[in-house]
């Protein structure tokens, strides 16, 4: 029941959520940090036994060059290679003209049903009847609709 939601130590992302690899903006933020790691590798590898030993401005230029090349390479891979493996967008939106209630009849996970705090408030604060059912992948058959509060999904409605 809803009481078990409060006892969970962590918040899980449902397995049905997928990230679009064609827009890796959050990975691009890591590019300069990975560049710093490349610069540190050049710095720490300098003057090792049996290898080259550079000092002064040449060492700074080498570390800076490693940062620039690594950052640029990472951004190029993110912008040109990764999108080749992503899904292409459909030419026509299959959900064009559909309302929230139309989609919520078919898809059990929505902002309302995936939010445990919303489900608990529905039951204990607002005393909805039936309250908003918490979405858990594989347990959709236990969800009960209540159109007044924006919960429309029913297992029998699924095709």
pLDDT value of position 52 = 80
CB 119 within 8 A of CB 151: no
Q: CA 12: distance to chain centroid?
A: 12
User: What is the reported pTM?
Assistant: 0.48
pLDDT tens digits, 117-153: 999 999 999 999 999 999 999 999 999 999 999 999 9
For residue 33, the SS3 value is: helix
pLDDT tens digits, 12-45: 444 454 444 455 677 888 999 999 999 999 999 9
Per-residue pLDDT band for 87 (boundaries 50, 70, 90) equals: confident
pLDDT value of position 31 = 93
Integer Cα distance of 20 and 44 in angstroms = 37
Integer Cα distance of 99 and 109 in angstroms = 15
Written as one string, the DSSP assignment of 87-145 is PPPPSS-TTTT--HHHHHHH-S--TTTT-HHHHHHHHHTS--SSPPPPP-TT-GGG---
């Amino acid at each position: 029941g809803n009481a078990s939601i409060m006892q969970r130590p962590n918040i899980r992302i449902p397995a049905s959520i997928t990230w679009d690899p064609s827009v890796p903006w959050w990975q691009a933020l890591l590019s300069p940090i990975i560049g710093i790691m490349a610069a540190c590798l050049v710095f720490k590898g300098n003057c090792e036994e049996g290898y080259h030993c550079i000092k002064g401005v040449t060492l700074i230029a080498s570390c800076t060059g490693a940062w620039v090349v690594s950052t640029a390479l990472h951004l190029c891979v993110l912008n040109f290679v990764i999108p080749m493996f992503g899904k292409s967008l459909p030419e026509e939106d299959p959900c064009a003209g559909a309302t929230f209630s139309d989609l919520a009849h078919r898809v059990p996970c929505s902002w309302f049903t995936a939010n445990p705090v919303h489900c608990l408030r529905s039951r204990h604060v607002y005393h909805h009847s039936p309250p908003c059912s918490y979405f858990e992948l594989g347990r959709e058959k236990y969800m009960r609709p209540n159109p007044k509060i924006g919960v429309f999904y029913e297992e029998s409605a699924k095709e």
